[in-house]
Amino acid sequence: MEINPTVTLENLGGKGYHLNLLRDICNVPEFFVIRFDDLQEIDDEIIQNQILNYYNENEYGLVSVRSSATVEDGEESSFAGMFDSILNVRKEGLIPAIKEVVDSVKGQRVVDYCKLKEIDYDQVAMRVVVQKMVIPRVAGVCFTKTSNSNEKMVIEACFGLGEALVSGKVTPDNYMVDRNMLSIENVSIGFQKIMLKQNEYEDVPFHKRNAKKLSDTEIEELAKVSLHIEENLSYDAVDIEWAYEGSKLYILQARAFTGIN
């Protein structure tokens, strides 16, 4: 086992590798990556203590524990949603959460997807990202191109954690932005009755349920940062998860967007 090994795709997995690239060009919540030589190592008490000591020494507090498989978030295969990610993990839950993420590589959906994409399942290695939680005012996703246009980008936004949007529990705002002019071409406001705050859903205050989630200035800032990421990662298009904590924009992850023609 090694924490924060040399920065290579093989050592860090797809998500961890991209986060290392991202933190040089935008705001990324602090994180560390665990590479196991053997996935059974997580059952070793000595290794568990090494992970917990690093967590304590660096004062991580509330974290997310995310998969970072070596095949994940690539241009040809994303494995989106096939491995586990666990939010709002405290110290006492860290090792069980890591075990759950590690075990998700054994899922039948992963095996079937490897067959579909002609990937050797035996070569799939799981790394784990432990990242400080952002407690967002608003969060969501951005696609720097759409399936219908290479000139438009789409931003989706909801109150609270973006997991509510990704899981389909809430209807987000949808903003269509011109990639060249950064002008907002269309705004569709999603009526949002509930929002995800840490591990449970809460009611959105009545007066905010039909409110626009992002200001025009924030939409423009997010669009600029997203295009900057696309350019620096050298992808044709990027799928980005983002969050505003107060007025500060954080990028939580970015991967090649494969949903375009």
For residue 3, the one-letter residue type is I
Give the pLDDT confidence score for residue 105 in this predicted structure.
78
Q: Which amino acid is at 46?
A: I
pLDDT band at 259 (very low <50, low <70, confident <90, very high): low
Q: Contact at 8 Å (CB) between 32 and 16?
A: no
CA-closest candidate to residue 187, choices 176, 202, 171, 199: 176
Distance, CA of 24 to CA of 129 (rounded, Å): 17
Note the pLDDT of residue 109. Answer: 73
Summarised one tens digit per residue, pLDDT across range 170-210 is 999 999 999 999 999 999 999 999 999 988 999 999 999 99
Q: What 8-state DSSP symbol labels residue 39? A: G
Interatomic CA distance for residues 109 and 82, integer angstroms: 7
What are the contacts of 191-195 at 24+ separation with CB within 8 A?
192/158, 192/159, 194/164, 194/169, 194/170, 195/158, 195/159, 195/160, 195/161, 195/164, 195/170
- pLDDT tens profile 203-255: 999 999 999 999 999 999 999 999 999 999 888 999 999 999 999 999 999 98
Residue 19 gets which letter from DSSP?
H
What per-residue string of b and e applies to 45-71 under the rule 16 or more CB within 10 Å gives b? Answer: eebbebbeeebeeeebeebbbbbbbbb
Mean pLDDT, residues 162-168 = 91
